[in-house]
Amino acid sequence: MTQSERRIYLLRELLKEQPRYQEIQIPADKEEQRHLLRSLFNVRMPDPVSDDFLKIQDEYLQEETARKGITDIADLTPIQDNLYLWQGDITTIHCGAIVNAANSQMLGCFWPCHGCIDNAIHTYAGVQLRATCAALMKKQGQEEETGKAKITPAFNLPCDYVLHTVGPIVSGSLQEKDRELLASCYRSCLELADSQGIRSIAFCCISTGEFHFPHDAAAEIAVATVKNYLRQKHSEMEVLFNVFKDEDYELYRKLLEPNGTAASGH
């Protein structure tokens, strides 16, 4: 099948799942098809799906990611020992694990085509990720606590695993408890990665989007927590700070490079 044929197949199968979608027509435009497919992935509940669907979905998503271009952490140059800074799409990073800024339900973002990390990771990992998270949460029997971490396979992403952590939600002025909880997110992910033998990890900017943690304070906490952990544990884990916005790139660059030299991987 061509990529276009895979996309049409997936659209038809997803539209067939719900009677309320029967009036939706598949658009002729390729970008509109991509938008509709992502929307359907985003709103789909963690229900069973056929092996044929998974096979075609996996082929489609892997080709889409390859089309965007994959960045291997091994090809980047650290700014400091074992510390990297890279600006771009976290779903295209090849490393041991990437970190997902999850919500307490841990099922991904259900808002069609939303711009959050949670939405992107669940979209390009495939429907298996939501199903796996749902099984974890059913077994746990309660919502995920802020500052903890869970691990799942990455499925169709180029990394091996996804670490899911729920960051603090900031409303009003920043409190010390918010700072402690954000630091706990980073420590929990590092501890979980170490326990699983993961040797490289890419962090997103946890809590700085929909959860409104100030970007400058979040970057300071992220860098300090990671440095302290690596030093205290004598760890050789490679840590990549992944940013998407120019604002965050400049914040991390200044924290990691006091002399202001341009960072590798930009």
Would you state the pLDDT for residue 266? 43
* DSSP assignment string, 165-222: EEPPPP-SS--HHHHHHHHHHHHHHHHHHHHTT--EEEE--TTSSTT---HHHHHHHH
How far is it, in rounded angstroms, from Cα 107 to Cα 125? 13
- Do residues 63 and 33 touch, judged by C-beta distance below 8 A? no
- pLDDT string in tens for the chain (266-residue length): 999 999 999 999 999 999 899 899 999 999 999 999 999 999 999 999 999 999 999 999 999 999 999 999 999 999 999 999 999 999 999 999 999 999 999 999 999 999 999 999 999 999 999 999 999 999 999 999 999 999 999 999 999 999 999 999 998 899 999 999 999 999 999 999 999 999 999 999 999 988 999 999 999 999 999 999 999 999 999 999 999 999 999 999 999 986 543 334 44
- Joined together, the tokens standing for residue 95 give 């490393």
Residue 264: its pLDDT value, please?
40
177 vs 105: CA distance, rounded Å = 21
Q: In the numeric block, which tokens belong to residue 92?
A: 């295209």
If you search the block for the tokens 């919502």, which residue do you land on?
143
Torsion from C-alpha of 63, 151, 112, 218, nearest 10 degrees: -110
Amino acid 263: pLDDT: 38
Q: Which of 40, 7, 80, 30 is nearest to 253 (CA)?
A: 80
Quickly list H helices, 44-167: 51-68, 117-125, 127-140
**Closest listed residue to residue 67, CA positions, set 142, 15, 154, 2:** 2
User: Is the distance from CB of 238 to CB of 200 less than 8 angstroms?
Assistant: yes
Residue 22: per-residue pLDDT: 87
Contact 202, 242 (CB under 8 A): yes
Give the per-residue pLDDT at 209.
87
Structure tokens at 79: 């700014």
Q: Any idea of the CA torsion for 14, 19, 20, 26, to the nearest 10 degrees?
A: 40
